[in-house]
Copies of this chain bind each other. A is one copy, B any other.
């Protein structure tokens, strides 16, 4: 399988600018052959402003940005793309729009069959997985399904947060929310990607990049901790 994915937890890390913390990984991922990146700004309301932001960041790195919302035929834009980057925002809005524009199947086909490099951040990482059922976002619009593009056989929780022992807030912790997900039958694994972490997938190899590590949740098993650099290739093959 040709699949190449860079799945980033968060677009912006505290104290730095948009995509600054993963700039080296972006350069390594897209490399020198990619000249143009197709940007998908559907997760935010102001698509023009979001596209400018992506363009201002990627152009100095050597990549021209075309936005899918400026294309007369979004499916054709996916068909012709050299690389794709789906940005963060609201995951429900993003997934609903991917269905409305009927680009979901074509993105899957191009990534899995043609090896189209796929970069996602936050909501753009959620939609790369089995489903959006482990997003942190509010369900502000109703998509036709929670099923996502399905480029990997597990789910991701971006912006993963450890419990705060000093908190007096009584809403569920992130781990409790994921545990509730796993009370449902047949639910896949969930990789809790902390801010500052990202997952690189190349074919059947998966590697944890970044500085903050990740926590893996499997239905019926204790959670497991993985440090930066870990080989997570088993996530791509195990049924779990």
Decide: A159 near B141, CB < 8 A? Known: A45-B180, A90-B180, A180-B90: no
Provide the residues of chain B in CB contact with A138, threshold 8 Å. 133-136, 177-178, 180-181
Q: How many residues of A contact B (CB 8 A)?
A: 39
Decide: A170 near B13, CB < 8 A? Known: A45-B183, A180-B140: yes
> A residues near B, CB below 8 A?
10-15, 45, 89-90, 92-93, 132-142, 145-146, 159, 161, 168-172, 177-178, 180-181, 183-184, 187, 195
Measured in the bound complex, the distance between the Cα atoms of B145 and A92 in whole Å is 13
Instruction: Kindly report which residue of chain B lies nearest to residue A180, judged by CB atoms.
Output: B90
Decide: A195 near B177, CB < 8 A? Known: A132-B139, A142-B145, A146-B139: no
Provide the residues of chain B in CB contact with A140, threshold 8 Å. 133, 177, 180-181, 183-184, 187
Most buried by B among A14, A90, A138, A169: A138
Provide the residues of chain B in CB contact with A139, threshold 8 Å. 92, 132-133, 135, 139, 146
Whether B10 lies near A171 (C-beta < 8 A) is: yes
Whether A170 lies near B136 (C-beta < 8 A) is: no
Decide: A171 near B159, CB < 8 A? Known: A133-B138, A134-B138, A142-B145: yes
Most buried by B among A133, A135, A145, A161: A133
Q: Which 10 A-B pairs have the closest CB atoms?
A: A14-B168, A45-B183, A159-B171, A140-B181, A138-B177, A142-B146, A90-B180, A10-B170, A133-B139, A12-B170
Distance from A47 Cβ to chain B, minimum over Cβ atoms (Å): 12
Given contacts A140-B180, A159-B171, A161-B169, 19 further A-B contacts (CB under 8 A): A10-B170, A10-B171, A45-B180, A45-B183, A89-B180, A93-B180, A133-B139, A133-B141, A136-B138, A138-B178, A138-B180, A139-B139, A140-B177, A140-B184, A141-B184, A159-B169, A159-B170, A161-B171, A171-B195
